[in-house]
Amino acid sequence: MLLVAVVLLCGTVRHLEATCQAHGSHKATPSPEPELHDCPLYAKNACCTADIKDKMNTLPEAECWNRCGLLSTKCEQFFKQLSCFYRCSPDATIWASPNLPNYLLNVPLCQSFCDQWYKACENDQTCTRNMNSDLNTSNHTRATCTSECIPYNKMYKDGKDLCESVAGDSFKVRSCNCLSLDKNDERVIKTLMQEDSTKTGFNGELPCSEKRSTVNKLRLSIRKRSLFVEDIDGSGSGFPTTE
């Protein structure tokens, strides 16, 4: 129970209905929370109540991320963003785990978000690579470290490693059709909800069309350059010819 909320995010879309998690800390149905100042992104339609501000530093996940002392303000802010998503966003259930109630699976986090998270936390201390499995919770009251505290930049090699390791398979790093836990998420989630599920790619992910387009343009550019060089060695005009 201690680690239920720690499994926060990454990309298999199980269903597309915005609702609240079936968990004691969530409301039965989402509704406006104008005083939700600590998680303002979800104030218009939230699964949490405004008193989450008073609970933020005593939530189970906070117990886990503070095992090696209090995190720096910038580092802790990323963990709070993830906690806000899990506890307040009605869209979190899109990535609900089919096997573990109240857990999330494969929420697609943007590479840029993960890189910023890593930079913010690289000098902070942690004793767990995977908060879901590397903490001792046998006493059911307080998670304890099972290994020594070391800097994040020693535990994880980069942002991708941090995102895809810190909470097991909760996160999945993507370059597009991904969440940055900001106002742009609304557009991304709207795209996910409008897409026909038969058009999604492997593991329920939408294909990165803009990335694929860039790659195709690069390939075309390389092909033209190759043809141009080949023609210089011959006797043509220097432009590709049709056969």
Instruction: Tell me the pLDDT tens digit for each residue of 99-142.
Output: 877 788 999 999 999 999 999 999 999 998 988 776 655 544 45
Q: Do the Cβ atoms of 115 and 181 come closer than 8 Å?
A: no
What average pLDDT does range 213-238 have in this prediction?
A: 39
| Predicted pLDDT of residue 61 | 64
How much is the pTM? 0.72
Output the pLDDT for position 47.
Answer: 92
174 pLDDT tier (thresholds 50, 70, 90): very high
User: Half-sphere exposure of residue 29, counting CA atoms within 13 Å on the CB side?
Assistant: 1
From the CB of residue 70, how many other CB atoms can be counted at a distance below 10 Å?
13
